[in-house]
Amino acid sequence: MDTTLKDPLVGHVLDGRYRVDARIAVGGMATVYRAVDTRLDRVLALKVMHPALATDASFVERFIREAKSVAHLAHPNVVGVFDQGAEGAYVYLAMEYVAGCTLRDVLRERGALQPRAALDILEPVLAALGAAHRAGFVHRDMKPENVLIGDDGRVKVADFGLVRAVGSVTSTTGTVLGTVSYLAPEQIEYGTADTRADVYACGVVLYEMLTGAKPHSGDTPAQVLFQHLNEDVPAPSALVPGLAVELDELVASATARNPEVRPHDAVALLAQVREARAPLGDEQLDLVPPQAHTDEQAQDQSGEQRSDGVLASEDRTSVIPRVLPREEPEEPEVNRTTRLAMPPSAPPQPPQQSRRRAVPNRGVLALVVALFLILGVGAGVWYINSGQFTRVPALIGKTEKDARQELKNAGLDVKKVRFDFSETVKRGTVINSDPATNERIRGNDSVTIVVSRGPEIVKVPQLKGKPLAKAERELKKLGLAPGVVTKEFSEEIAQGSVISTDPEAGAGRSPDSAVALTVSKGAPIEVPGVTGDSLDAATSELEGAGFKVKVASAQINSPEDAGSVAKQSAAEGTQLARGDTITLTVSKGPRMIDVPDVVGKKADEATSRLKSAGFEVKVEKSFPFLGDTVESQSVAGGGQAPEGSTITIKTKGL
């Protein structure tokens, strides 16, 4: 039975404009329909919020935010949003309709993909996210369900419902938005999400495409979250033997648990993807992976879509409370987009961790009792109350390296390193510690240190006229990343120094944002012509003009005399920069070739044969000029002459 007949919106013209034809899918917060814009006569997709949620201002705000944010992204790999509106209890987005399937559908049907297919999908996804990141937005919910693959092969990123501006506050207290299987560690632990959270999710998606399985799994979301926090994503080659090491390194870079180690945004990750792909041959790219999981496992991990278009519960976007006390509660599936609430004092427990206290060894107890008897009760009380404890040393203002050493000297370990913005504390130095300075802590315990990322918004410095190396050091010192370097001629700026930056000096950017640099090649120099000159003379002239000279290892035949310059890599009149290299090829002299015998031939035939052999021809006619038969040739037939040289033929008179 067609359950879409029960949907009151099917057949309805929403907002007097959008005729709803069919339901495509149902999620936790919205239903997606195929519709027709009756004004423009085009097919589109309508994303309609569930009426029960339309009364919640936060959900409506998110819908509107999605429309506004995506409207700024005119990118071929982003699902476009055309309109936003409401009719009664129905709040909707009118979006681009993509006929095809999701990446989740592909993974469910095929399991692991060949590396070529995985990279062909990942690259446009990163291009779309890169456009969002450079426009100042973070997606925050990247997963296979949000990657659409059209029937024409186009790849598009959808569902910017959790998008936030990079410059806005992206940390939350007690709640986290996202999908459990793709949350970055810093989202779980601190509720923060910048561009590197999207990078982490893309690394997980790449792992899933290469292996057909998620890197972390568990019976409850709490177990998956614990693994995100405490375990690195394994190398995909562990499941798919034969995968190139470059792919393992790519996954490891994107999914580094420390966000400072990851590529700073999708543009940087896309560059890494292309760099990793370049050396791979067809055999590595077209590796056919073994099925990484059975169909039943795939169903367990990925869910199913019913024939009526309703997504399985684990694939839906939903909002649920999440509390992680000492005992793990029963929780929903791990694939849906969720809001996770967790008190800071209750970290997730590892899967099936035993909660029994460790019983001291009897021999140790006996030794303690003996010490009490020898040293007296006072000493025993000191051991219990003081001897087990130390105090946290002063770490604030120290570099991370020095802070680690201080803790090591005190017999303490670093539990974790957190990073936070600070307007006053220098980037890379400690802001705070937990426990705080001078607080008592049990010996051999661990301390969390908080390291400054510098100001939340960094101004691009004035770098014009500074040498490239110095400019790059200055950017790194401020917490910005040196970006792409392009070179241009300049009459004003010294060679190797910065002409301009993009963004320009004074512009505000988030830490780790890339700054492109345009560097001077100096004033242009016109290349002189040295073909035919001796090698020494040519070298002297080019070096005198400011160029470096390289001599090709192989010599060639040419019309030029042996030992002279046969050709130069930059043509005469070309403009190059001082210090550029010009390669000179030395002549072996002309090639000697056989001369055909043309005596007795008609002049036209003789000329044709000589030219075909590689010679120039000069015809001299004897008086009176009525004869046309060759009487003699300057080089006898059967002899040899330089290729391209001139052979003179004489014709008979009457």
DSSP, collapsed to helix, strand or coil, labels residue 63 as: helix
The number of residues making up the chain comes to 654
Q: Mapped to the 3 state alphabet, what secondary structure does 537-604 carry? A: HHHHHHHHHCCEEEECCCCECCCCCCCEEEEECCCCCCEECCCCEEEEEEECCCCEEECCCCCCCEHH
Residue-wise over 98-121: b if at least 16 C-beta within 10 A, else e?
beebbbbbbbbeebbbbbebbbeb
What's the angle, vertex CA 575, arms to CA 571 and CA 581, rounded to 5? 70
DSSP, collapsed to helix, strand or coil, labels residue 185 as: helix
Sorted by sequence, the CB contacts under 8 Å of residue 48 that are 6+ apart come out as 9, 14, 30, 31, 32, 33, 90, 91, 92
DSSP, collapsed to helix, strand or coil, labels residue 35 as: strand
Nearest residue to 435 via CA among 387, 396, 383: 396
> What does the alpha-carbon distance between residue 395 and residue 26 come to, in Å, rounded to a whole number?
52
* Residue 37: C-alpha distances to residues 48, 95, 572, 606, 612 (Å): 15, 11, 62, 79, 71
* Residue 653: C-alpha distances to residues 48, 603, 630 (Å): 101, 13, 10
Task: Give the number of other Cβ atoms within 10 Å of residue 512's Cβ.
Answer: 21
> What does the alpha-carbon distance between residue 29 and residue 318 come to, in Å, rounded to a whole number?
6
Q: Which of 141, 159, 248, 512 is catalytic?
A: 141
Reply yes or no on whether 141 is catalytic.
yes
**Catalytic residue numbers, as ranges:** 141
